Amino acid sequence: MSDFRKDEVALLWDVSELVGLFDTERGLDAFLAQSVSKIAWHMRAAVCAIYLWNAGTGELVLRAYQGLAPGLEGKLRLRPGESLTGLALEKGQPVREARGQDNPRFLRIPEVYEERYQGFLAVPIKRRMKGVGVIVVMDPQWNYFTENDERALQVIAAQLGGVIENAALFLQLKGGTGTPVAERAGADSFGPGLHRVKVQGASGEMAVGLATRIGNYLSEEQARPAGLRRLDAEDFEKAFAATDSQLIDLQKTLEEKLHDAASMIFGAHVLMLRDEAFSGQIRARIAAGEDAYDAALGEIRAYKNMLQHSGIPLLKEKVLDVEDLGHRLLSNLATAGSGEDGAKGMPDYGGRIVIAKELVPSDILKLSAEGAEALVLLSGGQHSHVAILAKALHMPLAIAQDERLLRIPENTLVMLDMKKGELVVRPGEEADLAAMEIVRQRALREQGGEGVKAQTVTRDGTRVSLRANLNLVSELAYAKKVHAEGVGLYRTEFPFIVRSAFPTEEEQYLFYKAAVEQMEGHPVVFRTLDIGGDKALSYFPTQHEENPVLGLRALRFSFRNPEIFRTQLRALLRAAHGAANARLMFPMVGSVDEFLRAKAETVECLHALERAGIPAHLPALGVMVELPAAVEVVEDLAAEVEFLSVGSNDLIQYMLGVDRTNEQVASFYAPHHPAVLRSLARIVRAADAAGKDVSLCGDLATDTRILPFLLGIGLRTLSMDPTAIPRVQRAAEQIDVGVAKAQAERLLKLRTAAEIEGCLAEMADAAAEEEAGNGNE
Ligand code: PEP
Ligand code: MG
C-alpha cells in the first residue's frame, strides 16, 4: 500500500503545482513530460505515462513517460479497449488493479507492461465527456494504488484535459488558411462632449473608468503606439517573460481566491503563448528582420482571424482569449520599448469599463480577475445569469441597448450610475463626485456586517430568517459577515459554467463540503445543476434549441445526462455526510413524477456509495417551484417533498411568458401581477397545510415594497443576494405582520397589476409617514 498519504486539500494543491509547471517549459510535449514526472513523484510510482488519443488514426499514442526504456514516445500505440490502458479510455472510468496481470485485459508488452509491475492504475483524461487520453501509473508493489490516489489522478486528469484540448485546438488551427484582417475602429459615435446613455443596472451601483471595447485592441488605430521605437528580439524576450509571469500570477491568484471556479483560464493563455506555432512564429518573423511589435501584432491578428473563421463554435469562443493574450503581450512590448520596468502582475483591465456585445461567464471571471472596474453589455437582462455572476464577483454590470457604445473611442472616460440608470460619456466633474461615492460604497462593503443584527425580527416580534444565495464559495465570507442565517440557494452550476471543464466528483465534493462546514450548522440548500437556458457550458456541446428556456434545462438536462447528474449527486451525498445542515433541492420541477424520478436517482446513488463503503447521507429533499405547472400541483408536491422553495425569477418568467433576459419585454416582467401574487399565496398555503418548510429565493426577496406582502402571506424564510440582507433586514424591522396580513388579503383581491401597483405605492407611503412620525416622537 502507498506510504504517501495526502489529504484532499494537498492533492488539489498538487494540481496547482502542475499548472505552475508552465514556469519552466514550453509547448505541450514539454508540459506533458513535466507532468509525468510530477505525478510519479507525488504518487511515489515507479512508472508514469501519458497517452493521447489521435482521432486521425484512432489510436492512443504514448506521448510522455517516466520509468520505462527511452525512445518509446510516439511509437507505442494502442487501440481503444486494448490493454488496461485502452480499457480505461473505452470505459471512460479508472482501472485500478492490485496486480495488473489479474485483469483478463492485461496485455504483456515488453518494456512497458511487464510482470514486474503489479500495482496498476489508469485514469482517462476527458474533455466534454469524451476521452482524449489516459494517465497510467504502475509500481512493482502489490496493491500499491489507493482509492485516494485514484481520486487525485482524476483531478489531475481533469486539469490536463483542459490544457490538452487548448493545445490541440491551436495546433489544429495552424492547418487553417486564415489571413490577417485589419479591423477598422469606428469614428467617435457620440461626437465630442458629454453624452448620457440609458442603461439598466444589473449589479453594483457606480463605476468610473476608461472605456475599452472588447474586440478593439487589434484595430488599425491600435496598431502601434505613436513614437514607439523599433523593437528587436531582446525586447520581445523581455515582453514574453513579463507576459508569462503575469499570467502565471493571475492563475495562481484566481485559484487561491476562487478555487471552485478557477479552472485553467490563464493557464490556457500561457500555453498559447508558449506554443511554438505562436511565439515561435513571432520569433521567426523577428529573425527575418521584422519589427517585434509588428511581428507580434501580425501573428495575433492571424490567430484571431483563423479563430473567427474556423467554423468551429468552440474555437470562436477563444477569440477573447487571443485578444486578451495579444493585448497583454503588446502592452508589455510597448513597455519594453519605452525602457520602463516590465510592470509585473499588471492587470490589463485595471480601471477599465469594458463594453461588449455579449460575454460568457468565464469572460466575466477573467475580466474580474484582471481588475476591470465594470462591464457594459449590449445583450442579456438584469435577471440573466451573467448578471448574477457579476453580482457574485461584486462587479458593476449595466445592460445598454445603444449600439453606438460599440464604436466609442478607446480610453474615453465614462461613468456608470445604476441608480439613475445612465452611462455618462466624458462626465467631467461629475466623475470626481462619483469617485468619492464609489470609495464610500466600497468601504461600506468592506465593513459588511456592521450594524446588521444576528437575527431579523419584525416590529411585532415575528422571527424572519434571511439567508444568502450563493453562486461561488468565495461569497460565503461576505454572507457570514452580514449574518446570513444559512444558504437558501447554492446555485451549484456556477462553478461548472465558469470553468473550462467539468469539475470532478472529488472537486465538487470539496466545494460542497466547504459550504456546509463554513455555515457552521446553518442550513445550506444545494440546488442540483440548473444548466441550459442562458447557462450553457462552453465545453459541453448541446444541440441547437429554438427555445432553450423551454428546452433541455435544469432537471431535464440532468435526466438527459445521467453521468453528470450522478457525479454531482454522489458529491452532494458525500458532502452531506455528518452535515445535518445540508439540504438538496431540484430546479424546474414540473410534476410530482419528476420529483419522484429525481429522488429515486438520488437514493440509487446513495445505495451505490453505501455498497462501496463510501460515507454518504441522504439530506432533506425539496423542490423549487418555478413553473406554473408546479403551482397547479403544489398541494400534491408539498405532500411528497420535505420543503419547497419559490424561484420567483423563473416563476415570473414562466407564469407571465416573459423572457427574464430580454430587456425589450422588461416592462412585462411584473412581479406584482395578480397571477404571481396569487400563486405565491397558494404555494405558502399548500406548504403550511402539509406542514412543510417553504422559502423564497428569487430576486423578489430583495424587493422591499413587496416584503409586507411576502410576510403577510406567511413566508418566514427569504434567501437573497447577500449584499441585500442589511437593507431587507431594516425593512423587515419596520413591518407589523398583523398589518401585513391584512394588506396581503387586500392585494390578493385586486384584479389588475395597475391597482396592485397603486396599492403598493400607497402602503409604502403610509409606512414612510409612520416611520417619520415615530422618529418625531
Ligand atoms: C429563480 O428562478 O428565482 C432562482 C432563484 O433560480 P435562478 O435565478 O438561478 O434561475
Ligand atoms: Mg430559477
Active-site positions? 385, 697
pLDDT at 215 over 70: no
Measured between alpha carbons, how far is 347 from 366 in angstroms, rounded to an integer? 11
Which residues have a Cβ under 8 Å from the Cβ of 490 and sit 6 or more positions away? 469, 470, 512, 515, 524, 525, 526, 527
Mean pLDDT of 532-557: 86
Give me ligand 1 centre to Cα 556, in Å: 16
Ligand closest to 676 (CA) is: 1
Measured between alpha carbons, how far is 195 from 180 in angstroms, rounded to an integer? 35
Which residues have a Cβ under 8 Å from the Cβ of 471 and sit 6 or more positions away? 388, 389, 391, 392, 491, 494
Give me ligand 1 centre to Cα 630, in Å: 15
Residue pLDDT, tens place only, 473-531: 888 988 999 999 999 999 999 888 877 778 899 999 999 999 999 999 999 999 999 99
Ligand 1, atom 1: closest residue by C-alpha: 647
How many percent of the chain have pLDDT more than 90? Answer: 45
Cβ 148 vs Cβ 156: under 8 Å: no
Ligand 1, atom 4: closest residue by C-alpha: 647
CA-649 nearest atom, ligand 1: 3
Residue 421 cell numbers, joined:
440608470
Ligand closest to 489 (CA) is: 1
Mean pLDDT of 222-242: 88
Give me ligand 1 centre to Cα 532, in Å: 13
Ligand 1, atom 8: closest residue by C-alpha: 649
Give me ligand 2 centre to Cα 284, in Å: 52
Residue pLDDT, tens place only, 704-729: 999 999 999 999 999 999 989 999 99
The predicted structure's pLDDT at residue 169:
46
The predicted structure's pLDDT at residue 361:
73
DSSP string, 75-99: T-EE-TTSHHHHHHHHHTS-EEESS
Can you tell me which residue has the cell 468551429?
312
pLDDT at 660 over 50: yes
Please state the three-class secondary structure of 386-399 as a single string: HHHHHHHCCCCEEE
Residue pLDDT, tens place only, 585-623: 999 999 999 999 999 999 999 999 999 999 999 999 999
How many percent of the chain have pLDDT more than 70? Answer: 85
Cβ 535 vs Cβ 552: under 8 Å: no
Give me ligand 2 centre to Cα 514, in Å: 23
Please state the three-class secondary structure of 559-572 as a single string: HHCHHHHHHHHHHH
Cβ 569 vs Cβ 528: under 8 Å: yes
Which of 526, 697, 715 to mutate to test ligand 1, by most ligand atoms within 8 A of the CB atom?
Answer: 697
Number of other CB atoms surrounding residue 158 within 10 Å: 23
The predicted structure's pLDDT at residue 263:
63
Which of 384, 385, 389, 491 to mutate to test ligand 1, by most ligand atoms within 8 A of the CB atom?
Answer: 491
Q: Beta strands 620-625 and 643-646: pairing type? A: parallel
CA-653 nearest atom, ligand 1: 2
The predicted structure's pLDDT at residue 264:
67
Ligand 1, atom 9: closest residue by C-alpha: 491
CA-626 nearest atom, ligand 1: 2
pLDDT band, residue 284 (cuts 50/70/90): very high
Give me ligand 2 centre to Cα 625, in Å: 9
Strands (E), 247-391: 352-356, 374-377
Mean pLDDT of 527-541: 84
DSSP string, 217-244: TTBGGGSS-TTPPP--HHHHHHHHHHHH
pLDDT at 571 over 90: yes
DSSP string, 396-441: -EEEE--GGGGGPPTT-EEEEETTTTEEEES-TTHHHHHHHHHHHH
Number of other CB atoms surrounding residue 620 within 10 Å: 17
Residue pLDDT, tens place only, 91-140: 888 999 999 988 888 888 877 777 788 999 999 987 655 778 899 999 88
Please state the three-class secondary structure of 237-273 as a single string: HHHHHHHHHHHHHHHHHHHHHCCCCCCCHHHHHHHHH
Residue 253 cell numbers, joined:
491568484
The predicted structure's pLDDT at residue 254:
78
CA 154 from chain centre, in angstroms, equals 20
CA-587 nearest atom, ligand 1: 6
What is the DSSP-derived secondary structure letter of residue 280?
I
Grouping H, G, I as helix, E, B as strand and the rest as coil, residue 627 is: coil
CA 426 from chain centre, in angstroms, equals 33
Residue 665 cell numbers, joined:
419585454
Number of other CB atoms surrounding residue 240 within 10 Å: 21
Residue pLDDT, tens place only, 362-417: 778 888 877 888 999 987 766 677 787 888 788 899 999 888 888 888 888 899 99
The predicted structure's pLDDT at residue 647:
98
Give the highest mean pLDDT range of 29-38, 86-95, 344-353: 86-95
Which residues have a Cβ under 8 Å from the Cβ of 101 and sit 6 or more positions away? 115, 118
Residue 279 bridge partners (DSSP):
none
Task: Produce one character per residue of 588-610: b if its CB has 16 or more CB atoms within 10 Å, e if not.
Answer: bbbebebbeebbebbeebbeebe
Mean pLDDT of 725-740: 96
CA-383 nearest atom, ligand 1: 8
The predicted structure's pLDDT at residue 558:
96
Q: What is the dihedral of CA 155, 157, 158, 164, to 10 degrees?
A: 150
- Residue 395: which of 371, 427, 425 has the closest Cα? 371
pLDDT band, residue 740 (cuts 50/70/90): very high
The mean pLDDT value of the chain amounts to: 84
Give me ligand 1 centre to Cα 658, in Å: 14
Name all residues whose Cβ lies below 6 A of ligand 1: 489, 491, 530, 626, 647-650, 697-698
Q: How far is CA 678 from CA 629, 641, 666, 686, 732, in A?
A: 14, 22, 21, 12, 21
The predicted structure's pLDDT at residue 171:
46
Which of 550, 649, 660, 669 to mutate to test ligand 1, by most ligand atoms within 8 A of the CB atom?
Answer: 649
Number of other CB atoms surrounding residue 306 within 10 Å: 22
CA-699 nearest atom, ligand 1: 3
Which of 487, 496, 624 to mutate to test ligand 1, by most ligand atoms within 8 A of the CB atom?
Answer: 624
Give the highest mean pLDDT range of 320-334, 609-623, 656-670: 609-623
Residue pLDDT, tens place only, 150-206: 877 877 787 677 666 555 544 443 433 222 222 233 456 777 888 899 998 877 778
Residue pLDDT, tens place only, 428-482: 777 777 777 777 666 666 666 678 999 999 999 999 999 999 988 888 988 999 9
Calculate ∠ Cα 705-730-710, nearest 5°: 40
Mean pLDDT of 330-349: 69
The predicted structure's pLDDT at residue 727:
94
pLDDT at 23 over 50: no
